[in-house]
Amino acid sequence: MEADVAIVGAGAAGLVAARDLVRDGHDAVVLEARDRVGGRLLNGELPGGGPIEVGGQWVGPGQDEVLALIRELGLSTYPTYDEGRHIAEFGGRRSAYKGRVPRLSPAAILDIGQGSARLDRLARRVPVDEPWAAAHAARLDGATFGTWIRRNLHTRAGRSFMRLITQAVFAAEPDDMSALWAAFYVASAGGLDPLIETTGGAQQDRVSGGSQRIALALAGELGDRVVLDAPVTEIEWTDGSVRLRTPRAEVRARRAVIAVPPPLAARIRYAPGLPGDRDQLVQRLPMGRVIKVNVVYDEPFWRADGFSGQANSDRRGFAVVFDNTPESGAPGVLVGFLEGRHADAAARLDPAARRERVLADLAGYFGPRARDPIAFIERDWAEEEYSRGCYGAFATPGTLTRFGPALRRPVGPLHWAGTETATRWAGYMDGAVESGHRAAREVAAALT
């Protein structure tokens, strides 16, 4: 096969890049390793046949790139259920509360408020297009976010809260990542509240019919330009040409866009090999780890009990839960996430034991009815050969300041896309879309 541009990966980033390039008059082919499009966006099936998101799912205000794309594709969104009381368990206290702030001790509330404000101030000083150029970049990048939390929060409940939101946002532990990466991430979302809130934040809305429809609609436009079951194992390149090898096909093109997560981009063989900066970078951007579980009931029984379905806990593995009932209102679905160390522990259990733990946690939040679901739909993204983790990659300490500029910088005819390369909402669908547009612009400029 020949094309102007070959794109590796039919996730949102790769598909957006391909579509932009085709619209711009270029010939593009998308090589996808799996037998489906969507990458980390995937619709599962509810009893009765309706779709349920087993991968990325939410969009929210400020995510202008993905919201524009959803409109353009003729898709629509609907709000995440956000009424009733939320459940929070922090520092040994349980509270069922409305609004933004759980009922905690005054000391904990003050601690969380001050810590969050500090993180927001820190983030405002991090330029999203070059976080390595922030005023105190070296100092921040030289410590883990866990160290930052221990320095800036002082109550048990406050530290637990920050740890939990780190798990919820990154599917990683605060100790795993650079404090500069955490600050960049907050900056790229416009603040901590936009990251963690439901209404008004990144969990506000869902895509009618499931988020994978975005990828399916893009792929539909691209038609047979998208080649499935075509994992790219090798890319030979010169300044003006690329040759991509898959077990099924070989593609020659003038440029390539690699739109897969950084650790997977590292697993492609490049000939000649990539420069040291780029190779070292992708050795140091590991993926988060999450097992996502949709637990399905005849009806959303918690709503009748006055609960929103949202629950958080610093003492349960199933620590982050939302109402994930589809737009129609039935069946009732609770979705939760085993993240970071909770994912490690849960992945080591057999499926029956894991299910038992999850249901016990749900019963702890919402009462004994939670023990009797009609379906239990789990997805361990670290086990997926062509994702190897979710929600996205994060930077380990020292990485952004040493190798950050190699994140987006093309190497000869090779361009880099994927949500991890975005400046806004890195790690979200929105960032993926931004990165696809940006890579397409780079390629279009290079081809003319």
User: Which residues fall in the annotated binding site for substrate?
Assistant: 337
Compute and round to an integer the Cα radius of gyration of the chain: 22
DSSP string, 100-150: SS----HHHHHHHHHHHHHHHHHHHTS-TT-GGGSTTHHHHHTSBHHHHHH
What is the closest distance, in whole angstroms, from the C-beta atom of residue 402 to a copy of itself in the complex?
Answer: 6
In the complex with a copy of itself, which residue's Cβ is closer, 120 or 344?
344
Dihedral (Cα; 317, 323, 324, 329), 10-degree rounding: 150
Position among 27, 283, 410, 446 found at the interface with a copy of itself (CB under 8 A): 283
Widest distance between CA atoms in the chain: 65
Phi first, then psi, for residue 348 (nearest 5°) are: -80, -10
In the complex with a copy of itself, which residue's Cβ is closer, 144 or 203?
144
Regarding 412 and contact with a copy of itself (CB under 8 A), the answer is: no
Regarding 141 and contact with a copy of itself (CB under 8 A), the answer is: yes
Regarding 131 and contact with a copy of itself (CB under 8 A), the answer is: no
- Amino acid letter, residue 172: A
Q: Which of residues 326-355 bind a copy of itself (CB under 8 A)?
A: 341, 343-344, 347-348
In the complex with a copy of itself, which residue's Cβ is closer, 273 or 351?
273
Regarding 284 and contact with a copy of itself (CB under 8 A), the answer is: yes
Strand partners, 287: 393
Cα–Cα distances (Å) from 198 to 108, 224, 300, 366, in that order, read 22, 38, 18, 19
In the complex with a copy of itself, which residue's Cβ is closer, 269 or 315?
269
3-state helix, strand, coil in the chain (%, to 5): 40, 20, 40
Other CB atoms closer than 10 Å to residue 97's CB: what's the count? 14
Position among 174, 309, 404, 413 found at the interface with a copy of itself (CB under 8 A): 174
Regarding 382 and contact with a copy of itself (CB under 8 A), the answer is: yes
Stretch that binds a copy of itself, among 108-116, 153-161, 272-280, 302-310 (CB under 8 A): 272-280
Q: How many helices (H) and strands (E) does the chain have?
A: 16, 21
In the complex with a copy of itself, which residue's Cβ is closer, 42 or 343?
343
What is the closest distance, in whole angstroms, from the C-beta atom of residue 350 to a copy of itself in the complex?
Answer: 13
Position among 399, 419, 423, 435 found at the interface with a copy of itself (CB under 8 A): 399
Tokens representing residue 429 in the block: 């669908």
Regarding 397 and contact with a copy of itself (CB under 8 A), the answer is: yes
Q: Where does this chain bind a copy of itself (CB under 8 A)?
A: 138, 141-144, 146-147, 172-176, 233, 263, 266-267, 269, 273, 275-277, 279-280, 283-284, 286-287, 289, 341, 343-344, 347-348, 380, 382-383, 385, 388-389, 396-399, 402-403
